[in-house]
Structure 1
């Protein structure tokens, strides 16, 4: 208990030193009484002076008591037990900044020099008892594993002293009041006021300027949001997550990389596996962020690009050219982009696609488009009508914080659902509910979505589907043209022959800048997109013969959710030994990634490349040989930026002659109806034309484009599709003419 020594009496006379208990000092009410007596009662001069002296002394004692009295310490934060063999990391979130009123924790088991994750729990809305000197929290827990002792009680003393000392938390797990007696008890020491701690390794390409900080008061913001200077770590600190910068950032020299400053997914994938010094094949609180120049798609401002497999969500990139600038608006955009992309590494989905998580999460206002969150798209912000949306409305209302549900995930999501390298992006503990893809009761969107493909696929054949978005409104409709699943607006559910339904999750997720609006009307009634869905974050999606049901969902610009009819495909059993051997060469994880990336020179995919080479060499006449040739031809057509482990960047130049040879084989097979789909065929012919021009034969390139126009005049009767093919051909011809001058 705090004490003071006072050598002066209340009448101002010197006295021997005395000890006073803080709680025994005269209270403020007594000061008020004496003050009133000195000012209102009839007193002589000596009595008045004596009362005034007492008032002065009492005020001094009161001020000293207020300054030295113990302040109740917040119990918020992270605690950790030190039990031999077992460890509990506890998170208490019932006071402090934006408390979510939860208690959660993760269990680990230690064996020798290794520690393994066991499971997690959370208590939502625990009963809170605050008594003098102690806080008790208790309630029924939700566990990630079967357990009988679901009742959780946490006891935390409110430590006395100046300053308040961190307290120990005692956690008891029992079967509850019906079966008294704790079955397990952990004593946890206070570790940090942050609920989680992450190491961020950030590197940048030469010529970019990594973001530092933004003063939120620089531009208009909500009056309820305090002005403050935010860095990326500070933004996450406000969410209860500590982000520590891991070592000095590296600046990657690009002088040897040639003039192409644009990055594609294959190059980013290779950069992370070679360059991320903290990367491990394990769930760890570590993430890498690359500040790159620009993406090959100019609309992309950020991407989560780590590849599929057991350990995901460990790397992301932001593209400086789309957000650069030192003015307040540019600095604000940089802050949002950096925080947004790291949010994906924590397994946070876009605001408008949280219902497609696994398990599904509730959507915010207007199907999520009205969320004031780091995870929403600024340009897509649209609160419920008649409120005005768009960037200006977003920034005027955005408080620079995550939503309540996002806070709960960041602070109390089960370990593997949040930690980098844990569960795949968007995955929790349940399977996708096909009711999420149920037909709406009312559909006034004016849009129609169709998913189509061949009805049968050979075992091991890459499953490619075509998406068609059209208008059903004679007056026309305006929407966006993002039909690629990696952009987040198009989702495909896959129900396999066993009845299990999964959501197709591409290996990489892109975040777009700009609306890319299109008008669908009589002049252009539909747009098309070809998508490879055979491989994603969960590996191969068509691993067994049988019948599959597919259904797609498109989220339009106004938030409407447009569903395709169910499309059925059959994967046939292998008929010969060669079929089985070919399928084995085609269906590895590395091969799936190469099909997705359309090739790569990354050493981490060398086994996949070797298998595809063997496929071409040994089974060149097999119908599926067209797909390895497509991968090899596409890869040979790119100037591949290679970021090595020693942090040097070089470029492996394209090989036009090899590309032309392989793509020719693809085109010939496709013209005989034993090759790729129409959209991929058109892409292949355009790519071959560019390589022909680069090899020094622009006239041959123009003939290839004329051939493409003629091929699709025979293959489609749609005037709008024919016009679009002609436009694509003219664009390539113009580029060839320009580059050959």
Structure 2
């Protein structure tokens, strides 16, 4: 691995993390006897068997020799250095640490005066309850002095009314950074290094921008975070992959779990960055490809992949660089930008234009979350922020100072650790609703499914159709999949709980636009069986699915549908189906298969066998087992720095997809026409490979007959008919 370490941003003279009496940790919670964290799903749903009784994990461990009456606390002081916010936050636990839930606060500095070499700070506009006494604290007074080594502070907590104080406590600064994260960076053979980047490399920039050599470390140091690069980074050899150098989502997820030396299916301040060559889509520049699954074993935000040879974003010949000349410098700039953008998602940062889409973390009212489509931040899309449309991003880069904005810095530096830590809480959610005044009457959005009634455990596929219902042309984007952030989905369950649905990836893709003629439509299937918050359809009853579409001009469209989930056909079926609702299985069902997650694959096979071939769930179970076997599959195992390739198995594909082609109407009702066609094409390719060409022709002919009977659009019928003719 190339050593890209560079001098970090100037260290704050006083800002950083201060601890007293050992400090409060970010990993307090509920654990098993083996100290493995329980998920919220395991704690709140008795359908999951617990490995042991539930134990509380202390938020802190008091230092030896401390007074039994002393509190334990950590303060984040943010008053100088790079982009200071004038904020102090903290966590405070009582002396009975094991039984104490830490109080968290974020306050604003209202007084900041220099006195005899020390800085006197007064912090207010916050409230929290002092542990053990129940008193409300609303003021913090600090005297911070540089000292001979690390700065120290004298800290007093003032109770409402000023009649009582806790302290003063003498506190030492533990670090000039607010948090520390270990990052392993692996780079594929032939991929392009994303760093370092010199801020003056491209001539389109703020005229007074200082020249800096930025790396992953220095970019996040500006936000107050310490990136420690793991020595385990590898150069990944891909000779065995031959001509197929493209990575699919299932291959990436398998690679992370198998190869990353620090992977653990639990929250941790660690992440993996994989600098790959190409994704299976030329328009995909990067992806945060592992996301929270609110089921047992579910962890999120641990892996980021950057596709350094992406033709659209990262090569001088691409549309994005040529629209932001000089192209070679633009390609380098965008590559580094996307490295920080995707890494920001791993810290749970939302896109700049999506910050208000529902949060579990509430920032203080004096710095409320706002959707800022033209924010000058790493978390924005430079071309979308730039007026005028297209790939031009000059307006953004003429103003961008290579930083996160103040709201993002507040989150990274001061939010409770569980919201920032990789694999912990998910706070960014979307709601799938739009303001009535933004609706574009020229666009009609429809969400539909072949059936409105599903069996418990059956895959739930819906189709989106965006149609121009006006008499004139309409410019619309084609990014109908929610991972790009322009389409939002929410599901209301039978108990009336409305929750967002998000896929288990966030992507940086080309925003592709198209002028829709009157009556013309765009289509996209969505597999909403499982998402970032787990399985939405886990119980019988009625459900509501809401979808919203956000166009590049600010116009919107919305749609809603109702569906029902039947009770299990028997008690034994219900028990078998309930074993599906865990994170490993969910990832396989959402990603479309895996060759390395053997435990999840075995569970899918076991449930399929118990339910029987005629159960609607069996069609998609067969699909997720067959599709990864339909072509050579890249494997990156933990004991190797070389990509291996597992060969295709057409006989296996034929066997597992036979129910799909033997019962075309039933299979199409389960997975929808778009996915059904894809599966029949996969089956056809497999049987042609095994010299059973006639079987492929029969499968295509049956699909053509079904599509004609159901009124599928003519271009699709023409394509299928051509395939039938080719197979004669």
Superposed displacement of residue 469, structure 1:
1.0
The C-alpha deviation readout for 1:32-52, integer Å capped at 9, x for no partner, is: xxxxxxxxxxxxxxxxxxxxx
Superposed displacement of residue 74, structure 1:
4.1
Superposed displacement of residue 137, structure 1:
2.3
Q: CA RMSD in A?
A: 3.3
Structure 1 match to 2:21:
82
1:597 aligned onto 2:591: yes
1:374 aligned onto 2:359: no
1:689 aligned onto 2:696: no
C-alpha distance 144-597 of structure 1, shift in aligned 2 (>3 A)? farther
Structure 1 match to 2:415:
413
Structure 1 match to 2:143:
156
| TM-score where L is the length of structure 2 | 0.80
C-alpha distance 518-442 of structure 1, shift in aligned 2 (>3 A)? closer
Partners of 1:411 and 1:733 in 2: CA distance: 62
Alignment of 1:55-70 (within 5 A): none
Partners of 1:628 and 1:727 in 2: CA distance: 27
Structure 1 match to 2:196:
213
Matched positions, count: 642
C-alpha distance 623-165 of structure 1, shift in aligned 2 (>3 A)? closer
Partners of 1:643 and 1:732 in 2: CA distance: 38
Partners of 1:111 and 1:683 in 2: CA distance: 60
The C-alpha deviation readout for 1:344-392, integer Å capped at 9, x for no partner, is: 0111112222222414889999x64322221112332235x8x998323
C-alpha distance 462-224 of structure 1, shift in aligned 2 (>3 A)? same
Alignment of 1:527-538 (within 5 A): 527-538=522-533
Between 1:332-341 and 1:319-328, the stretch displaced more is 319-328
Partners of 2:276 and 2:94 in 1: CA distance: 40
Structure 2 gaps of 5+ residues are 1-11, 23-60, 63-70, 317-326
1:590 match: secondary structure: helix
C-alpha distance 144-448 of structure 1, shift in aligned 2 (>3 A)? farther
The C-alpha deviation readout for 1:590-626, integer Å capped at 9, x for no partner, is: 2222211221112xx3232112212333422333222
The C-alpha deviation readout for 1:369-421, integer Å capped at 9, x for no partner, is: 322221112332235x8x99832332223222212211211111221111112
Alignment of 1:418-437 (within 5 A): 418-424=420-426, 426=428, 437=433
| TM-score where L is the length of structure 1 | 0.79
1:506 aligned onto 2:500: no
C-alpha distance 76-588 of structure 1, shift in aligned 2 (>3 A)? closer
**Greater relative CO (CA pairs within 8 A, separation 6+):** 2
Structure 2 match to 1:443:
439
1:456 aligned onto 2:453: yes
Structure 1 gaps of 5+ residues are 1-72
1:521 aligned onto 2:517: yes
C-alpha distance 116-394 of structure 1, shift in aligned 2 (>3 A)? farther
C-alpha distance 265-700 of structure 1, shift in aligned 2 (>3 A)? same
1:120 aligned onto 2:104: yes
The C-alpha deviation readout for 1:311-351, integer Å capped at 9, x for no partner, is: 31111110121125794222211110111111001111122
Structure 2 match to 1:28:
none
Partners of 1:400 and 1:159 in 2: CA distance: 29
CA contact (8 A) 1:451 1:468 kept: yes
Superposed displacement of residue 288, structure 1:
0.8
C-alpha distance 650-116 of structure 1, shift in aligned 2 (>3 A)? farther
1:723 aligned onto 2:702: no
Alignment of 1:339-738 (within 5 A): 339-359=340-360, 368-383=372-387, 390-424=392-426, 426=428, 437-444=433-440, 446-453=442-449, 454-512=451-509, 514-522=510-518, 525-564=520-559, 566-602=560-596, 605-618=597-610, 619-647=612-640, 648-672=642-666, 675-696=670-691, 701=696, 704-716=699-711, 721-727=713-719
Partners of 2:188 and 2:205 in 1: CA distance: 32
1:302 aligned onto 2:306: no
Greater helix content: 1
C-alpha distance 282-677 of structure 1, shift in aligned 2 (>3 A)? closer
Structure 2 match to 1:141:
126
Partners of 1:79 and 1:142 in 2: CA distance: 20
Partners of 2:339 and 2:82 in 1: CA distance: 23
1:356 match: secondary structure: coil
Partners of 1:388 and 1:481 in 2: CA distance: 13
Alignment of 1:235-274 (within 5 A): 235-247=219-231, 249-274=233-258
The C-alpha deviation readout for 1:64-87, integer Å capped at 9, x for no partner, is: xxxxxxxxx943222222345275
